[in-house]
């Protein structure tokens, strides 16, 4: 058991022991979600603020329910950055929320570094729920948790991450978590979105999808964000699907026990064939379930839980 942090800001600053502590704690909390009474009093009387400056329904709900199941009081404070209150800074807004004796701030912001900035002066805990293209630590933790449940030790596992790596905080955080736990990471996607510089993070880079997936024990397909202006980076959705989508022909070349992962929401027929998304090797919905357990673990740990309370009563 090794955990002494007040915040969870990124994966880069954690060591393998800390990551393992989170995963071990999450395993206990996952059991809570399977009981008839899915609730534990670990954070009774604590105030958790969902401070979302970039909108997100799924991640917010996952954190909200995680806090509820720990018996905390949860306040949702969602604000569009463009309409951020004139005349008030991010810092002032956060300090005002803290003045309500908030214990934990779950922060999502479109600017990289916003959670780190807030952690410098807030007395409460800060949990990064996604900041710009920088980091999304709980997504990476739920991904490695899911892999560990199916594959055991990550050491030596081959993990392929396919898609828009350049702009993806999910990819960045996964690379940190996977390499720290000893996995071999291969990145694949359009060359405009997978620059060679990622080799410096210890990854292999390839633009050949077949090469990327054939030896993979785990294939993590990132979402193509076609609602944003990423289209300039590759010809078209159809072309992306043709070149990098996991279709039946490619699926036939994968290892028979290769896990299929996706952070969701999936674009059926784009990153992944619809039938493959629902096949036995797909763990997309387990990732969602595990996300809740991982977030319960993180909220519990940053609140100093390991010292002061039993995770599960």
| Minimum distance of a copy of itself from residue 111's CB (angstroms) | 19
Q: How many CA atoms lie within 13 A of 232 on its CB side?
A: 2
* Residue nearer to a copy of itself on the CB measure, 112 or 225: 225
HEC profile for 247-301? CHHHHHCCCCCCEEECCCCCCECCCECHHHHCCCCECHHHHHHHHHHHHHHHHHH
Q: Cα–Cα distances in Å, from 154 out to 12, 113, 161, 181, 237?
A: 17, 29, 15, 6, 33
* Residue nearer to a copy of itself on the CB measure, 58 or 196: 58
Residue 130, SS3? strand
* Residue nearer to a copy of itself on the CB measure, 35 or 155: 35
Angle at CA 288, nearest 5°, toward 132 and 107?
Answer: 30
Residues lying near a copy of itself in the complex (CB under 8 A)? 33-39, 44-47, 57-58, 61-62, 64-65, 68-69, 73, 75, 77, 79, 85-89, 92-93, 95-101, 226-227, 264-268, 270, 285-286, 288-289, 292
Q: Using CA of residue 271, residue 181, residue 148, residue 23, what is the dihedral sign?
A: negative
| Minimum distance of a copy of itself from residue 284's CB (angstroms) | 9
| Minimum distance of a copy of itself from residue 48's CB (angstroms) | 11
| Minimum distance of a copy of itself from residue 167's CB (angstroms) | 17
Q: Distance from CA of residue 219 to its chain's centroid? A: 16
* Residue nearer to a copy of itself on the CB measure, 47 or 139: 47
* Residue nearer to a copy of itself on the CB measure, 4 or 34: 34
Rounded to whole angstroms, how far apart are CA atoms 12 and 177? 8
Q: How many CA atoms lie within 13 A of 13 on its CB side?
A: 12
* Residue nearer to a copy of itself on the CB measure, 193 or 270: 270
| Minimum distance of a copy of itself from residue 84's CB (angstroms) | 11
* Residue nearer to a copy of itself on the CB measure, 46 or 180: 46
The angle, 0 to 180 degrees and rounded to 10, between the axes of the packed helices 57-69 and 284-302 is 50
* Residue nearer to a copy of itself on the CB measure, 197 or 285: 285
Q: Which residue has the tokens 């008030």?
A: 88
Which tokens in the block code for residue 129?
Answer: 């729920």
| Minimum distance of a copy of itself from residue 281's CB (angstroms) | 17
| Minimum distance of a copy of itself from residue 245's CB (angstroms) | 13
| Minimum distance of a copy of itself from residue 34's CB (angstroms) | 7
Terminal Cα distance for the chain, rounded:
18
């Amino acid at each position: 058991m090794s955990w002494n942090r007040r915040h969870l800001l990124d994966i880069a600053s954690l060591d393998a022991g800390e990551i393992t502590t989170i995963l071990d704690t999450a395993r206990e909390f996952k059991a809570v979600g399977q009981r008839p009474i899915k609730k534990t009093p670990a954070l009774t009387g604590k105030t958790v603020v969902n401070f979302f400056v970039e909108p997100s329904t799924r991640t917010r709900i996952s954190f909200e329910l995680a806090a509820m199941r720990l018996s905390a009081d949860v306040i949702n404070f969602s604000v569009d950055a463009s309409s951020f209150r004139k005349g008030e800074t991010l810092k002032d807004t956060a300090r005002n929320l803290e003045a309500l004796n908030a214990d934990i701030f779950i922060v999502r912001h479109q600017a990289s570094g916003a959670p780190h900035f807030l952690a410098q002066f807030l007395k409460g805990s800060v949990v990064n729920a996604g900041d710009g293209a920088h980091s999304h630590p709980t997504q990476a933790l739920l991904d490695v948790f899911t892999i560990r449940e199916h594959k055991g030790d990550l050491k030596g596992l081959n993990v392929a991450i396919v898609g828009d790596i350049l702009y993806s905080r999910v990819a960045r955080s996964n690379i940190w978590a996977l390499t720290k736990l000893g996995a071999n990471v291969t990145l694949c996607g359009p060359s405009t979105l997978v620059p060679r510089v990622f080799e410096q993070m210890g990854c292999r880079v390839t633009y050949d999808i077949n090469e990327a997936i054939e030896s993979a024990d785990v294939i993590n397909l990132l979402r193509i964000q076609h609602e944003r202006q990423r289209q300039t980076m590759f010809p078209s959705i159809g072309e992306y699907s043709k070149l990098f989508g996991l279709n039946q022909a490619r699926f036939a070349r994968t290892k028979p026990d290769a896990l299929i992962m996706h952070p969701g929401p999936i674009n059926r027929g784009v990153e992944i064939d619809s039938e493959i998304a629902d096949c036995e090797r797909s763990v997309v919905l387990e990732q969602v379930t595990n996300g809740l357990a991982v977030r319960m673990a993180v909220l519990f740990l940053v609140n100093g839980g390991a010292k002061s309370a039993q995770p599960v009563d």
